[in-house]
Structures are given as structure tokens and as C-alpha cells.
Amino acid sequence: MVLTLRATNWREPGVDMGTTWFDDIFFGEDVEGAANLLDDPGFETGLDDVRIVVDFTSFDREMSQYIDEFGFQSFRMRIAYMPRRDAPGVCGPFKQGSEGYDRVVGNYLHEMQEHLREKGWLDEAYAYWVDEPAPEHYENVIYGMRLLDEYAPDIRRMLTEQPEPDLVGSVDIWCPVLHNYEEERCRLRQAEGDQIWWYVCTGPKAPHAGLFIDHNAIDLRIWQWMTHKYDVSGALIWATNYWDSSLRRQQTGVWQNPWDDPMAYSSTGGYWGNGDGRFLYPPNVDPNSEHEPIIAGPADSIRWEMLREGLEDYEYFALLKRLLAQKPDAAAQKLLAIPESILENSQDFDRDPQALFAHRRAVAEAIERVGR
């Protein structure tokens, strides 16, 4: 091992001389040239010397438009310095597990909570800071969720994971992928006050309902009937305009044209599925050719339209339910239960839409009758 100490930033020509903090350049490196072996020792840094400063200027401008003007009902609150799935959190000289880390990151989370409260956006916010953790990541997830609970308890904590015993008490909004939904566990969490959302992405594949081009057109519509059936209160889709994989572009040297190649390629070079992550399409031109700028709105897809139809169906059920709370009607109440001949579970449902159409019409007529 060779130990070299210099009083300031140093180069052979003698430039960059001047005052510097000694711990800014004090590090240890193994003989293979790997990462720093000695974390910033923080010789001069005290517990009260580190603070995360947040500039809300751009955030407030955008949020005012989307929440206050456009009426968006929820948004993902991005937060930094939290533990990653496979690595502990770090903030300046402080590492996860230290008093300094908890205090500095906790004060930052509290500041964001109170800013949202002041602006009237707290009810729409949820913290979604780690994605699809495996059991070996739960320790870091629980640590970060605890900080949120202690310092910003009014920001809802969302996790793209099915309810698991080890995580109970650390999550406010569970969001399993569709084929990992387990009704008994989810109903129990709902009874305890948690919310259940769910999502479709690179899975599930058939026979489950999914978002792929080569699935039945009814899939995304019947998904919202499932959302009503199981009292799920949120539906997540990971992307709507994933037209090109950066890795695929590096391999081929060209931009992918989603009109010619429907496949969504993964970030590691594999295949996610036809149409995955793309519901809206750019103008139908070769992205690798020279052409005049095109000013045009996106082209939508049948799957996008079917999702909209499903959301309107869901609203029919919700509207009838609200009306029945004010004016009971036994015949209309029965319509809130979807017959198993139409929908049994996420993979067993009628692919022929005629029965769905008939039930939807009956719900609409009940809304008119009860609402009069």
C-alpha cells in the first residue's frame, strides 16, 4: 500500500494550489483501483452543519398547472437520499444507520411535507421511491419507510409490491402487478386502512389480462371491471410512449420506429412484449430519415381506447354505488356484483364483449332509474 498526503489539490505543473479541506482529498483505494475504501470522514462536519436545501420554484409552477388548473388527482413525490433497493442511503458525510443521516434526511422529508400542506397538495401526493423490491431488499425499504413515517407521516407511502408480512406497517399503498394480486391478503390490508392499487407492465402474459398488442382487445377494458370487483383504488401503467430502447439503439445504430417494429425491448436487450409501454404513437415517419419538422398530436391505439372505455365503465359502477348509498334499490344493488360468467378472475373472463355490453346497459338504466 502507498499512502500519499497532499495539503491541497495538486498537479505536476503546480496549478490549482490554494486552500482546501484536507478530507476533500483524503481517500483510500485498493490495488485493483476499485471504489474509495475510506468514506468522507467529515473531520469538520458536525451534525448541525449539513442541511438539504430544496428549491420549490419550478416544482410549484408545474404543480399549480397540473393540480390546481387541470385537476390531476395524484402525483408521485420524488424524493432523494433514500436507501436504494440494494444499497444503503448516504447524505453528505452521513450514512444510513447514523443519527446524522436520520436527522438530515428526516428534516428534508418534513420540509417537503409541510410545503405540500401549505400549497394544498398533500392529499394528492404519494412517495414512490423504490421499485419492485425483492425480499433481500426489504431491510432498506423498511428503513426508508420508517423515516417517512417519523418525519413526514402525512405523505402516503406507495410500493410496487404485493402485501408481504415483513412489510406490513411500512406501506400505505400496495401496488402488486396484476398476476401477483392475492385477494385474501389485499382485503385484509384494506380492512386495516391501507389502499390497494395494481399495475400491468412487462407482464402478465396471457391468459391474464395485459397490455400487449397481441392480446384480446377486451383485456384493458375488463381490467377496470376487475378494479371495481376487488375494490382496487388505483391503476398504474409504467409508460405510454416507450418507442425506443437505448440499448437496442446502441446495438443497431438506429432509432426504433414503433410503426414498423412493435416490440418493446428491455433495457438489458431482451423482449418485453409487443406494444409494451406504448399506447400513444409519434407521427408515422421514419425517425432515422431527414424530414421537415412535424407538428401533430400523438396517434392513439386501440388499447388506449379500450382503457378509456374501461375507465368509463368503472365510473358507471362508482356512480351507481354512490346513488344507492342515498336511495337503496335491491335490483340495482345486484348489478354491482359482476357475474362470474363475465369475470371470474384476472385470467378467466369472457373474451366476447356481448355480455359485458348487456351488463353495462343494465347499469346505465339503473343509474337513470335510481337517480330520478
Report the C-alpha gap between 124 and 158 in whole angstroms. 12
Report the C-alpha gap between 306 and 345 in whole angstroms. 19
Provide the grid cell at 198: 395494481
Place of cell 369472457: 350
pLDDT surpasses 50 at 24: no
pLDDT surpasses 80 at 11: no
Closest CA to 211 of 88, 90, 305, 283: 305
Stated pTM of the model:
0.85
Which pLDDT belongs to residue 93?
86
Q: What is the pLDDT of residues 148-166, one digit of tens each?
A: 999 999 999 999 999 999 9
Q: What is the dihedral of CA 320, 322, 327, 328, to 10 degrees?
A: 70
Q: What is the pLDDT of residues 89-101, one digit of tens each?
A: 999 889 999 999 9
Which pLDDT belongs to residue 25?
47
Are the C-beta atoms of 233 and 193 separated by less than 8 Å? no
pLDDT surpasses 60 at 15: no
Phi, psi dihedral angles at 94 (to 5 degrees): -105, 135
Which pLDDT belongs to residue 269?
78
Are the C-beta atoms of 105 and 149 separated by less than 8 Å? no
Sign of CA dihedral 307, 74, 181, 187: negative
Among 73-87, 178-192, 319-333, 336-350, the minimum mean pLDDT is found in 73-87
Phi, psi dihedral angles at 169 (to 5 degrees): 95, -10
pLDDT-derived band of residue 179, with 50, 70 and 90 as boundaries? very high
Mean pLDDT of 103-125: 97
Report the C-alpha gap between 372 and 351 in whole angstroms. 34
Mean pLDDT (the chain, rounded): 90
Indicate the angle between helix axes 219-229 and 302-326, nearest 10 degrees. Answer: 20
Instruction: Give how far the C-alpha of residue 273 lies from the chain's centroid of Cα atoms, to the nearest Å.
Output: 20
Report the C-alpha gap between 18 and 7 in whole angstroms. 9
pLDDT-derived band of residue 267, with 50, 70 and 90 as boundaries? confident
CATH code assigned to 57-305: 3.20.20
pLDDT surpasses 90 at 307: yes
pLDDT surpasses 80 at 346: yes
Which pLDDT belongs to residue 284?
92
Residue ranges per structural domain of the chain: 1-44, 57-305, 312-371
What is the bridge-based pairing of β-strands 234-237 and 195-200? parallel
